[in-house]
Amino acid sequence: MAGVMFCEPRQLYNIINQYRWRSRLTEPNYLCLLDARSQREFNESHIVTAQRIVLVRGLLKAAPPVTDLQQQVKNKSSFQQSFLQSVRWNEKGFAEDVREADGHTEPAQANSSLVSLGAGEGDALLHARNLEHFTRHPVLLLKGGYRRFSACYHFLKSQKTLWMPQELDTFQPYPVEILPAKLYMGNFKQASDKQIQKDLKIKALVNVSEQPVTLFAEEGKSLHISVPDSLEADLFSSFPTISHFIGEIIFCSIPNISFLSSCLQRAWKYLLKCKMNMRPNRGFVKQLSAWETQIYGWPITDISEPKY
């Protein structure tokens, strides 16, 4: 058994918004998002692509129109992620009994004290413990449930109960979240989207491309670094300007943040958790290594390793 672990709303937000040439939600084996709340609560609204899960005679079943959950899991040989979430889970206060997952570690695994709570475990945890017998990867419980997630990401709520493949093909991902409600990373299309800027409350923008981007927020700040997308592009000379611009905004809100001063190895590992297919070109990686050397006095990260 892979076990049961907890994840923060930010982690689920980033998983929902992964994409390659299109949203990864189109992949049938990518995400199984299950809702353990009542039918009434589910009908009112739920997280996009979520299915309601019910317990029938001791067997886990996804509510219609989705097929039997056990059969669905059997068909997913490369089943990657499973989520159960319940608004009641957080209301009963069980979040305090679980180790916090910070930005530099994997989600905390459920400890024995939480599993032994018996009848007070909540529906979501009950379903998660049943479901873990059918998966090769940990079943993740959404910390704070739907209430906390929807408070942070209201734009990812839906009343749809059935998503057609064509609808998932046109699903527009949001930029991944690097620092909660403070720093996001996206592409040019996302940066140019007025609705995305509004939903994420973007007040400052760093645009590293040859094309200009409009920042729609009043009194917003924008920095445009005009460079081509090529191996020879010089970004190194702009690193001090970019770092100062981001740091001036972020540090005002989070005084003790250390992410922006991290070594390349640590920053790389952190960003891969936010953007799973992150792969900068080789020229950019060499310039990041040179920047690390300039900051610390020597190269800490061996960029000759294949992962870089």
What would the pLDDT profile of 220-274 be if each residue is shown by its tens digit?
A: 899 999 999 899 999 999 999 998 898 887 765 444 444 555 789 999 999 999 9
Q: Is 249 helix (H, G, I), strand (E, B) or coil?
A: helix
| Domain final position from 169, 201, 231 | 169
Do 162 and 187 lie in a common domain? Answer: no
Residue 306 lies in a domain: no
Nearest-5° Cα angle at 174, 169 to 175: 130
Report residue 75's pLDDT band, with 50, 70 and 90 as the boundaries: very low
Nearest-5° Cα angle at 217, 10 to 246: 60
Do 50 and 153 lie in a common domain? Answer: yes
Do 84 and 54 lie in a common domain? Answer: yes
Do 46 and 67 lie in a common domain? Answer: yes
State how far the Cα of 241 lies from the Cα of 245, in Å rounded to an integer: 6
Task: Give the phi and the psi of residue 3 in degrees, each rounded to 5.
Answer: 95, 180
Nearest-5° Cα angle at 76, 71 to 80: 130
Contacts of residue 38, Cβ cutoff 8 Å, sequence gap at least 6: none
Q: Which domain holds residue 76?
A: 4-169
What the block records as the tokens of 257 is 């943040």
Do 164 and 180 lie in a common domain? Answer: no
Residue type at position 64: P
CA distances, 87 to each of 33, 36, 41, 45 (Å): 15, 8, 9, 12
Residue 66 has pLDDT above 70, yes or no: no
Do 284 and 214 lie in a common domain? Answer: yes
Do 74 and 211 lie in a common domain? Answer: no
Is 93 exposed, middle or buried, given 0-12, 13-18 or 19+ CB atoms closer than 10 A? exposed
Do 204 and 284 lie in a common domain? Answer: yes
Residue 108 lies in a domain: yes
Residue 19 has pLDDT above 70, yes or no: yes
Nearest residue to 140 (alpha-carbon basis) of 224, 51, 26, 34: 34
What the block records as the tokens of 58 is 């001791």
Is this prediction's pTM over 0.85? no
Peptide bond into 228 cis (omega under 30): no
Question: What's the structural domain count of the chain?
Answer: 2
Higher-pLDDT residue of 55 and 119 is 55
How much is the pLDDT for 79? Answer: 33
Do 73 and 220 lie in a common domain? Answer: no
Do 209 and 154 lie in a common domain? Answer: no
